[in-house]
Amino acid sequence: MLRIGMLTSGGDCQALNAAMRGVVKTIYNNCKDEVEFYGFEDGYKGLIYSKFRMLTGEDFSGILTRGGTILGTSRVPFKTIREPDERGLDKVAAMKQNYYKLQLDCLVMLGGNGSTKTANLLSKESLNIITLPKTIDNDLWGTDMTFGFQSAVDIATTAIDQIHTTASSHGRVFIVEIMGHKVGWLPLNAGMAGGADIILLPEIPYDIDKVVDKIEERDARGSRFTIIVVAEGAISQDDAKLSKKEYKDKLSNYKFPSVSYEVADAIQKKTGREVRVTVPGHVQRGGEPCPYDRVFASRLGAEAGKLILKKEFGYMVGYRNREMVKVPLEEVAGKLKMVDPKSDIIKEAKLLGISFGD
């Protein structure tokens, strides 16, 4: 008998279901023993509070194309995991107890950066863990790609495409705010795919005067409009110089709903141009996975299934240099894969005339 637990943790994304289906199909098709799958509800909460259900083949039928997660998800921040809950429950002890009570042979965790830190902790506590890299942010260290990312790029690009036509009709400056608080892979890729003129990323602090220069350069050339993609976590060069505390203080008195509105306000004041802001928000995480993500997540799931059958645990399945790889959890946990301002893609974008406001 093989008993496998599964949970999806953190912000959802497309292809979570496809990845779980990949694990289950691989195990069903290649395991000679009887197998039982247990799905924990709403991420680590399900494991902590023993909220689970037994899953059958039927649960996984027809879900390759379905967005969201059939298990539900939630955020249980890593920094609180060692703290007792409001009733004094030791969360780590509870997770271990529930794992052993169900006599699990392993736990498959589909999650991003914070969730992988918790997975690493559980692995160090001697639970058998395999993780799969999910997030629209593509910021997990140890893998060139995460599932969900390409689907989100498609949606964000469509948003920018739609804005293009109305921006050109009205001759306006348009800002499209794209998800990514700490890391800018999604705004960078969607911005390039959508033909943005300016892209502001968390990794490249901007100078508002350089942004204005680019708009004026386009005006002088007779371009009627400018498209600016702003990452949720874009930061000005002045703000980047502030200490953590000073920046926190600034945000506590912040009069704008987000950085995009601050950029819009500054441009309006400096140029007198009409500026509009569009925020696609969680639309970027919603809906069905694109074909790339369906294939990619299925492949990751199959590789995870293979590791389980070989009883190799303590790894995240990743994709590096066009190959599927297993990366030790302790190597992945706590590291972010950022956009390198000196990387080829940034240099190429600059050759294409895209300004990063630096």
**Stretch touching ligand F6P by CB under 6 A, among 60-68, 119-127, 134-142, 235-243:** 134-142
**DSSP class of residue 323?**
E
The stretch near ligand F6P (CB under 6 A) out of 40-48, 98-106, 135-143, 257-265 is: 135-143
Q: Residue 322 contacts by C-beta under 8 Å, 6 or more apart in sequence? A: none
Residue 262 makes contact with ligand F6P by CB under 6 A: no
DSSP-derived pairing of the beta strands 52-55 and 35-40: antiparallel
d(CA 278, CA 248): 25
- The token pair that represents 93 in the structure block: 């002890």
Q: Interface with ligand F6P includes 136 (CB under 6 A)? A: yes
Distance from the Cα of residue 52 to its chain's centroid:
25
Q: Tokens for 25?
A: 């199909």
Q: Can you tell me the distance from the alpha carbon of 250 to that of 256, in angstroms, rounded to the nearest whole number? A: 11
Contact status, residue 27 vs residue 20, Cβ threshold 8 Å = no
Q: Binding of ligand F6P at residue 203 (CB under 6 A)?
A: no
Q: Which of 24, 47, 129, 179 binds ligand F6P (CB under 6 A)?
A: 179
Is residue 203 classed exposed, middle or buried when 0-12, 13-18 and 19+ CB atoms within 10 A define those classes? buried
**Out of 170, 181, 241, 320, the residue judged to bind ligand F6P by CB under 6 A:** 181
Residue 349 in the binding site for ligand F6P (CB under 6 A): no
How would you classify the pairing of strands 129-133 and 106-111?
Answer: parallel
Q: DSSP string covering 220-232, please?
A: HHT---EEEEEET
Binding ligand F6P by CB under 6 A: which of 45, 285, 326, 337?
Answer: 285
Per-residue contact track with ligand F6P, 101 to 130, x per CB under 6 A? Answer: ------------------------------
Is residue 137 part of the annotated active site? The answer reads yes
**Residues 126, 329: contact at Cβ < 8 Å?**
no
- Distance CA(93)–CA(98), nearest Å, equals 9
Residue 242 beta carbon to ligand F6P: minimum distance, rounded to whole angstroms: 21
Least separation, in Å, of the C-beta of 76 and ligand F6P?
Answer: 12
Task: Single out the residue of 69, 118, 135, 236 in contact with ligand F6P (rule: CB under 6 A).
Answer: 135
DSSP state of 51: -
Query: Given candidates 5, 11, 43, 202, which one binds ligand F6P under the rule CB under 6 A?
Result: 11
Say how many residues touch ligand F6P, by CB under 6 A: 9
Identify the active-site residue in 12, 42, 59, 137.
137
For the CB of residue 148, give the shortest distance to ligand F6P in the complex, in Å. Answer: 8
Among 67, 111, 180, 191, the residue binding ligand F6P under the rule CB under 6 A is: 180
Q: Find the shortest distance in angstroms from Cβ 285 to ligand F6P.
A: 5
Quote the radius of gyration of the chain (alpha carbons, Å). Answer: 22
Residue 9 has which token pair? 């943790």
Residues 38-97 that bind ligand F6P (CB under 6 A): none
Q: Which residues in this chain contact ligand F6P in the complex, by CB under 6 A?
A: 11, 135-137, 179-181, 232, 285
Active site residues: 137
